[in-house]
Amino acid sequence: MEILTPTANVKNLAVRCGWTTCLNDVTFNLYPGEFCALIGPSGSGKSVLFEALLGFHRVSAGSLSKSTKAIGLVPQKDELHDNISPKEALKINAYLRGIRQEKERAVQSILRQVDLLDHQHKPIRKLSGGQKKRVSIALELLSSSKLLLLDEPCASLDPQLELQQMQLFRELTSQGRSILISTHKTHNLHFCHCLLVIYCGVSIFYGTPEQAVEHFHVKQISEIYGQLKKRAVRDWLSSYHTFERSHKFLSRSPPPPQLKPPPTSKKTSKAKNILKRIENANT
């Protein structure tokens, strides 16, 4: 039987940012084809964990390994050029990523996936917060990254769009990507294969969303937040170790990936013109 390598394998990870220990003890593994959500109170270390996965922090203890360098990030704060439209942004991105063939079709398909067809020609500065967030997501969907990290991708989405995005992330994993999102929106976490709960820089649970509800003795995942302060971090960690000993989630069988080939290339000059316009706008 083939042994699948995790896309990301993190064991007892500790990370310091300057004098502050931001991550204390984080353990999880994410396989190709898995969609995982990272939850935990504000300041618990979710964004720092993403930065660590991207290699921005030195590992002070434990280990962090990745099977790929093709990692995409949708940051918590959008970093977009305001003067161009979503469609132009995607075309430039496609050009920079070397996507030439069927570029128009790829761009339209992604605009449809993130529900931005109606706004594709507006300057990004005129879009709402949720629409801008979807542009950021669309830009990363163009890439063929094997590991996609999205830091609060649903933060400014209305409930219907949030549902659509979560469905889309789940669908994308069927192409073999690994997707890790951080979120405070807990309604649609049943779309995830796994849930990582982080508290004060410590991973205090890693299992399925259904197992999380049982483990924290709650009716729904949102109630986990209220439970956390009731016990010390070390107590949560010790009950998680008991859970892991009986469920062996870390040695689970991952879903079999069904890889689709990424779009390939043909030369274009229009994207170059758009790039020039951005440069001109910025000078």
Q: Which does 43 bind (CB under 5 to 8 A by kind): Mg ion, ligand ATP, none?
A: ligand ATP
Q: Which does 85 bind (CB under 5 to 8 A by kind): Mg ion, ligand ATP, none?
A: none
Helix axes 129-141, 103-113, angle to 10 degrees: 140
- Measured from the CB atom, the residue of 44 and 165 that comes closer to ligand ATP is 44
Say how many C-beta atoms besides its own lie within 10 A of residue 224's C-beta: 23
Residue 133 as a binder of ligand ATP (CB under 6 A): the answer is no
Torsion of CA 163, 164, 170, 176, to 10 degrees: -160
* Total residues binding Mg ion (CB under 5 A): 3
d(CA 199, CA 201): 5
Residue 24 as a binder of ligand ATP (CB under 6 A): the answer is no
Question: Is residue 212 within 8 Å of 66, Cβ to Cβ?
Answer: no
- Measured from the CB atom, the residue of 89 and 202 that comes closer to ligand ATP is 202
Residue 17 as a binder of ligand ATP (CB under 6 A): the answer is yes
Q: Name the segment binding ligand ATP (CB under 6 A); options: 14-22, 109-117, 133-141, 274-282.
A: 14-22
Per-residue binder mask for ligand ATP (CB under 6 A), 41-60, x = binder: -xxxxxxx------------
- Measured from the CB atom, the residue of 93 and 165 that comes closer to ligand ATP is 165
Query: Smallest distance from the beta carbon of 114 to ligand ATP, in angstroms?
Result: 22
Q: Name the segment binding ligand ATP (CB under 6 A); options: 18-26, 91-99, 203-211, 261-269.
A: 18-26
Q: Which of 7, 29, 47, 93 binds Mg ion (CB under 5 A)?
A: 47
- Measured from the CB atom, the residue of 133 and 215 that comes closer to Mg ion is 133
Residues that bind ligand ATP (CB under 6 A): 17-18, 20, 22, 40, 42-48, 76
Instruction: Give residues in contact with Mg ion (CB under 5 A).
Output: 46-47, 76
